[in-house]
Chain A
Amino acid sequence: MLALDPAFLAVQALSGLSSASSLFITACGLTIVFGVTRIVNFAHGSLYMIGAYTAATLVPRLLELSFGPVTFWAGILASAIVVGLIGVIIEVLLLRRIYGAPELFQLLATFGVVLVVQDLVVQVFGPQDILGPRAPGLRAPVEILGRRFPSYELVLIAAGPIVLGLVWLLLRKTRFGVLVRAATQDRDMVASLGVNQALLFTGTLFLGAFLAGLGGALQIPRVSAHAGMDLSIIAEAFVVTVVGGMGSVPGAFLAALIIGQLQAFGILVFPKSTLVVVFLLMAVVLAIRPHGFFGRAEIVGGTHAVGIASRALLPRRHFILLVVIAILAGIPLVADAYLLKVATEILIFALFAFSLQLLIGVGGVVSFGHAAFFGLGAYGAALAVKWYGVSMEAALPLGLALAALGAGLVGAFVVRLSGIYLAMMTLAAAQILYAVAFQWVEVTGGDNGIVGVWPAPWASGPIPYYLLTAALTVVTVLLLKRIIDAPFGYALRAARDSEARAEAIGLSVRQHRWLAFIIAGAAAGLAGGIYAFSRGSVDPSLLGISTSVDALTMLLLGGIQTVIGPLVGAAALHALRDWIMPITSLWRLFLGLSIIAMVLIFPRGLVGTIRDWWGARA
Chain B
Amino acid sequence: MTLLTVNGLHKFFGGVVAARDVTFTVARGEMLAIIGPNGAGKSTVFNMVGGQLKSDRGKVLLDGHDITYTSPQKRFRRGVGRTFQVAQTFLSMSAAENVQMALISCNRQSNRLWTAARERHRDKAVELLSRVGMAEAADVACSALAYGDVKRVELAIALAGQPKLLLMDEPTAGMAPRERAALMDLTASITESQGIGVLFTEHDMDVVFGHAARVLVLLRGQIIAAGSPDEVRQDEQVKRAYLGDARALEPLRGMSPA
Residues of A within 8 A of B (CB): 307-310, 482-483, 485-491, 493-494, 496-498, 500-508, 512, 515
Contact = CB atoms under 8 A, between A and B. Distances in A.
Candidate in B50, B88, B90 with the most chain A CB atoms within 10 angstroms:
B90
Nearest to A362: B92
B241 to A, nearest CB: 28
B102 interface: yes
- 8 nearest CB pairs, A to B: A501-B88, A309-B92, A506-B76, A490-B117, A497-B90, A491-B110, A503-B72, A498-B88
Nearest to A497: B90
Contacts of B100: 490
Contacts of A501: 84, 88-90, 154, 157
Interface of B: 50, 52, 71-74, 76-77, 81-82, 84, 88-94, 97, 100-102, 104-106, 109-118, 120, 141, 143, 154, 157-158, 160-161
A500 B88 contact: yes
Given A503-B72, A505-B101, A310 B113 contact: no
Given A488-B113, A512-B110, A497 B105 contact: no
Nearest to B104: A487
B72 A504 contact: yes
Contacts of B104: 487, 490-491
A309 to B, nearest CB: 4
A486 B117 contact: yes
A76 to B, nearest CB: 45
Contact of B114 (A486, A504, A507): A486
Contact of A506 (B106, B111, B116): B106
5 contacts: A310-B118, A486-B115, A488-B111, A501-B154, A505-B105
A490 B98 CA distance: 10
Given A310-B118, A505-B157, A505-B161, A490 B111 contact: no
A206 to B, nearest CB: 37
A470 B102 CA distance: 38
A515 B111 contact: yes
Candidate in B50, B74, B82, B110 with the most chain A CB atoms within 10 angstroms:
B110
Contacts of B120: 487
Given A310-B97, A487-B112, A505 B92 contact: no
Given A497-B91, A503-B71, A482 B106 contact: no
B161 to A, nearest CB: 6
Contacts of B101: 490-491, 494, 505
Given A487-B110, A487-B120, A491-B104, A308 B92 contact: yes
Contact of A491 (B91, B94, B105): B105
A494 B90 contact: yes
A interface: dominant SS: helix
Given A487-B120, A491-B105, A498 B73 contact: no
A504 B88 contact: yes
Nearest to A480: B113
B89 A505 contact: no
Contacts of A486: 112-117
Given A503-B73, A506-B161, 5 more contacts: A488-B112, A504-B50, A506-B77, A508-B73, A512-B110
Nearest to A307: B92
B255 to A, nearest CB: 34
Contacts of B92: 307-310, 493, 496-497
A507 B73 contact: yes
Contacts of A490: 93, 97, 100-101, 104, 110, 117
Nearest to B110: A491
Given A486-B113, A490-B117, A500 B90 contact: no
B91 to A, nearest CB: 5
Contacts of A507: 73, 105, 110
Given A497-B90, A501-B88, A506 B105 contact: yes
Contacts of A494: 90, 93, 101
Nearest to A503: B72
A494 B73 CA distance: 14
Contacts of A493: 90, 92-93
B35 to A, nearest CB: 23
A482 B114 contact: yes
Nearest to A509: B73
A515 B112 CA distance: 12
A408 to B, nearest CB: 15
Contacts of A502: 90
Contacts of A487: 104, 109-112, 115, 117, 120
A482 B117 CA distance: 10
A489 B76 contact: no
Contacts of B106: 505-506
Contacts of B110: 487-488, 490-491, 507, 512
